[in-house]
Amino acid sequence: MSEKKGLLINGFGSFYSVMIDGKVCQARARGRIKKENIRLLIGDFVTVEQESETYAITGVLPRKNSLIRPAVANVDQIIVVVAAAEPDPNFKQTDKLLGLLEYNNFDVHICINKSDLADYKEIERIYTNAGYPVTITSTIDGKTDITQLKEVLKGKVSAFAGCSGVGKSSLINTLDNSYERITGEVGKIKRGRHTTTHASLLPLEFGGFIADTPGFSVVDLSCVDKGGLERCFKEFEQYFGQCRFSGCTHINEPDCMIKQMLLKGKIEKSRYESYVALFEEAQDKREKFF
């Protein structure tokens, strides 16, 4: 039987949608995938064999990258979406997510959505100064300017990531009006309900793919120890090796370049505060462990 290659774009339970020769086909996991309990991710390139009406997924090709939250593989970039308000931005949580992505060498773009609701200049300044490309959006009619975001996404495989209710699914509906993603009221989210329940990869009419993903608030940074934390903050890197002590943790040591840059305003206060908070978290974890 002839084997083909496909792109996994949707999966729920043991049923998957795979794009094969430009067409969306239904498929089920078989053989090795099932036996070894391999978790397939959207964005995976899989090998398939035709089985009457549907296809059997027989294998998965090596991944160039992958994430568990959001659950995606082989993306060119992650678009971290924060809202100007409703929900208010949570800097520590955002920095933790950015840190995880930075540590794992993902290309990251920041999108500040709901720009119609509140002044977003501070958030924009913080992340621009941290070295991230930032795009401002709103999905409200008449205030929508999505052209810049389209340019960012064009021709690439991207995934949205961010808290529930920031407007990831709404952005997809605005980007490509062939989609009618279900969106939720922020009020519901307060009760812990997330509208988008599983990740799916959607082809964009102007080229490329975008993954809509469920919102999340917990980021697991336990793979990074205290010493590695500095590499989670991309703007710190240019100052590496310039502190007085070679193993400087940038917390209490004298002549610390990071702290000098903080005083000069070259490093944003909220970013440094996140660093300290995450450092303390990593320290607590270690103490509990030993």
Ligand X SMILES: Nc1nc2c(ncn2[C@@H]2O[C@H](COP(=O)(O)OP(=O)(O)OP(=O)(O)O)[C@@H](O)[C@H]2O)c(=O)[nH]1
248 binds, options Mg ion, ligand X, Zn ion, none, Cβ within 5 to 8 A by partner type: Zn ion
CA distance 217 to 120: 21
Rule CB under 6 A: choose which of 96, 109, 114, 259 binds ligand X: 114
> Is 168 a binder of Zn ion (CB under 5 A)?
no
**Alpha helix stretches (DSSP H) within 10-120:** 31-35, 91-103
Residues β-bridged to residue 69 = none
158 binds, options Mg ion, ligand X, Zn ion, none, Cβ within 5 to 8 A by partner type: none
Q: How far is CA 203 from CA 24, 183, 287, in A?
A: 11, 19, 47
- Contact segment (CB under 5 A) with Mg ion among 20-28, 102-110, 119-127, 194-202 equals 194-202
> Is 250 a binder of Zn ion (CB under 5 A)?
yes
Residue 33 CA from chain centroid, whole number: 26
CA distance 41 to 147: 29
- Contact segment (CB under 5 A) with Mg ion among 26-34, 166-174, 223-231, 241-249 equals 166-174
Which residues, at least 6 apart from 139, have a Cβ–Cβ distance to it below 8 Å? 113, 114, 146, 167, 170, 171, 173, 174
Measured from the CB atom, the residue of 193 and 269 that comes closer to ligand X is: 193
> Residue 44: which of 12, 6, 76 has the closest Cα?
6
- Contact segment (CB under 5 A) with Zn ion among 50-58, 171-179, 188-196, 252-260 equals 252-260
Rule CB under 6 A: choose which of 58, 94, 135, 164 binds ligand X: 164
The least distance separating ligand X from the CB of residue 171, rounded to whole angstroms, comes to 7
> Is 251 a binder of ligand X (CB under 6 A)?
no
Residue-wise burial string across 104-131, b where 16 or more C-beta atoms lie within 10 A, e elsewhere: eebebbbbbbbbeebebeebbebbeebe
> Is 195 a binder of Mg ion (CB under 5 A)?
yes
> Is 170 a binder of ligand X (CB under 6 A)?
yes
Measured from the CB atom, the residue of 141 and 287 that comes closer to ligand X is: 141
Q: Among residue numbers 172 through 191, which ones bind Zn ion (CB under 5 A)?
A: none
> Is 145 a binder of ligand X (CB under 6 A)?
no
Strand-pair category, 77-83 with 45-51? unpaired
243 binds, options Mg ion, ligand X, Zn ion, none, Cβ within 5 to 8 A by partner type: Zn ion
Rule CB under 5 A: choose which of 80, 248, 261, 267 binds Zn ion: 248
CA distance 50 to 37: 21
Asked if residue 94 lies in contact with residue 176, where contact means CB atoms within 8 angstroms, the answer is no
Interhelix angle 91-103/269-289, nearest 10 degrees: 70
> Is 169 a binder of Mg ion (CB under 5 A)?
yes
> Is 256 a binder of Zn ion (CB under 5 A)?
yes
Burial of 194 by CB count in 10 Å (0-12 exposed, 13-18 middle, 19+ buried)?
Answer: middle
How big is the site for ligand X, counted in residues (CB under 6 A)? Answer: 23
- Contact segment (CB under 6 A) with ligand X among 15-23, 42-50, 113-121, 242-250 equals 113-121
Measured from the CB atom, the residue of 6 and 70 that comes closer to ligand X is: 70
Residues at the contact surface with Mg ion, assessed by CB under 5 A: 168-169, 195-196
